[in-house]
Structure 1
Amino acid sequence: MSTPPPAKMTVAAPVPPAASPPPAQARPLEGILWMLLTMFLFTTMDSVGKELQQRHEVVQVVWARYFFHVLLLAIVMHRHLPGMMRTRAPVLQVTRSALLLVTTLLFYMGLRSLQVAEASSIMFLTPLIVTALAVPLLGEKVGWRRWASILVGFVGALIIVRPGSGALGIAALFVMAGATSNALYHITTRKVSLVDSPWTTLAHTGTVGVVVTTCAVPFFWTEPSAGDWALFVLMGAIGVTSQFALIRALTVAGASTVAPFSYSTLIWATMWGYLLFGDLPDAQTLTGALIIVASGLYVYHRERVRTGR
């Protein structure tokens, strides 16, 4: 939730089609496997976050996710970090990092009350919103077929959210808002990829999040148990590993090959929801999710037709 690397780091959302061509010596199968691993890790991290929210406030969980991610990245990449932090687009990098923080907070606020599969399904709107916002923000032209597909995708979201029924309530609205901020995050990622390397972008990804949440977390702090400290560190470790997996996927195969496999999120979200919380998505959630996935895949297909790939 994600084209040029690194993409969405905190929530398990699909990766929109990229504008960059695949590498000269593409290895599609390897790239697909890396993308499947990426989506598995993203959803695992979100599931751990939902588990921690049963005992800690959202701000503390998000702080842990950012703090240990940045800490572990600094430890692993300490020799290269000064060079990675040099950017030719500081305003864009800060904006992108801030959008990621907003996305994370909104998603986790919704995830507190929703099933993992429900929240992940709503986040599937991200590529459709990216396509819609690409018109005013990137100056791209979107034909009637893609507009129709976007509208169908939003119908799928309404099937999941069930407005007026009170089934999912304000939690679903938080996640829908998160999908919108996530789309803006992806668009900013596209722009910054034109001037900075993926590794520079990776180094800046959590900067705003770790600063803001470190300032805020004392007001929301509850003492973690030893097991919760381990889960906090695990979230950071998964964050670093998932970003490495995503960069590998986009390096060996290119986004145009691996993007559709980001929808495997629904499989992992359903699995973790059942194993950790005893939740299974109902028929309406699955129906809406499949409609959104089909719409996203059609938008992806039209993107390939438009670019001739």
Structure 2
Amino acid sequence: MQAAPWQTQGNHTAGIVLMCVGVACLSANDAVAKALTAHYSPLQILFLRNVIALPFTVLIALIMGGRPALKTHRPLAHLLRGVLWVAATMLFFTSFIYLGLAEATALIFVAPVFITVISALFLGERVHIRRWLAVFFGFLGVLVVIRPGGATFQAASLLPVATALVYALLMLSARWVDARESVWTLLVYLTGTAALISALIVPFVWVPVRIEDLWLFAAIAIFGTAGMTMMTQAFRLAPAVIVAPLDYTGLIWATLFGWLIWRENPDVTTFVGAAIIIASGAFTIFRQKAKAA
């Protein structure tokens, strides 16, 4: 029997490469966003990022999916997803003001744990004991990183955790989108609705953009769009069980960028907590895909 196109070794390799490069691009996007928070509101950064990225996103959707990629059957579902995307991005960008890049990135990786909890408690999905143990260890990892009650505890550490919760809701909300719509449709409307929603609020926090920062806003749009596009394509070329865990390479990039730009040096406890979170999330991903197989 001939293998399906996505089952070929060549496509697996391409998917792995695209995922790794895409994660690196999104990590660069986060690093630029952190740099911009020194002068601009997270909302203004989000607004300009999406406004600049929208034409490129539409172009990519047209190339990959043709005109049907611009058509939606459930605009309200996309509007809700846009609200969730704005909330998640605002929380994450705000955390950059107070936390190191690696610490914030490590905490957001608890999202798969939240997806499991929400699916079990509110969507009626049956979750076995091993996945509940993964949930337990995931939250244990969060506690190790943020160290509540300790001398180094910061309330701002809860911002990436809240980001992970909202991001989990965003991922689950994809079920509300019409099945006839492609991933490129989701990408276009996510960018477009985020630009529209943030445009309604940004006048209240707007400050003039400095000429020397224009390239940074262009960079965040390019890195963000390129990263999301490559990661989307990676899931089309290779099984999720292969490429999804590669998302955790973002912690390597976050640590590298944090050290190079801000001389951040996460302590050993942060890395221990991050390892627990990543192990929990990776196990959750593998179990979910094994169940779906």
User: TM-score under structure 1 normalisation?
Assistant: 0.87
Is 1:294–2:279 an aligned residue pair? Answer: yes
Larger deviation, residues 186-195 vs 88-97:
186-195
| Corresponding position of 1:44 | 28
1:300 positional shift: 2.3
| Corresponding position of 1:73 | 57
| Corresponding position of 2:159 | 174
1:160 positional shift: 0.7
User: TM-score under structure 2 normalisation?
Assistant: 0.91
Change (3 A) 1:34 1:54: same
Distance 2:119 2:248 in 1: 21
Is 1:23–2:6 an aligned residue pair? Answer: yes
1:167 positional shift: 2.6
Is 1:192–2:177 an aligned residue pair? Answer: yes
Change (3 A) 1:44 1:143: same
Alignment check: 8 A CA contact 2:7 2:238 kept: no
1:87 positional shift: 1.2
Is 1:55–2:46 an aligned residue pair? Answer: no
Is 1:210–2:201 an aligned residue pair? Answer: no
- Cα root mean square deviation, aligned: 2.1
1:191 positional shift: 4.1
1:245 to 226, 230, 253: 230
Residue type of the partner of 1:223? P
1:51 positional shift: 0.2
Distance 2:125 2:201 in 1: 38
1:218 positional shift: 2.1
Aligned length: 288
Distance 2:265 2:178 in 1: 38
Distance 1:223 1:213 in 2: 16
Q: How does 1:125-140 map to 2 (within 5 A)?
A: 125-140=110-125
1:77 positional shift: 5.4
CA displacement 1:45-104 (0-9 Å, x = unmatched): 011000001111221111122111113324565787863231122222211121111100
1:267 to 252, 262, 276: 252
Distance 1:121 1:83 in 2: 37
Distance 1:22 1:298 in 2: 27
Alignment check: 8 A CA contact 2:15 2:237 kept: yes
Alignment check: 8 A CA contact 1:146 1:302 kept: yes
1:197 positional shift: 1.1
CA displacement 1:259-304 (0-9 Å, x = unmatched): 1111101100000001111102111110100001111122223224
| Corresponding position of 1:123 | 108
Unmatched tracts of structure 2, length 5 or more: none
Distance 1:40 1:235 in 2: 12
| Corresponding position of 2:218 | 233
| Corresponding position of 2:242 | 257
Residue type of the partner of 1:29? T
Distance 2:90 2:5 in 1: 33
| Corresponding position of 1:220 | 205
CA displacement 1:15-69 (0-9 Å, x = unmatched): xxxxxx9935462121111111111111110110000011112211111221111
Distance 2:174 2:205 in 1: 31
Residue type of the partner of 1:298? F
Distance 1:220 1:81 in 2: 37
Larger deviation, residues 186-195 vs 239-248:
186-195
| Corresponding position of 1:105 | 90
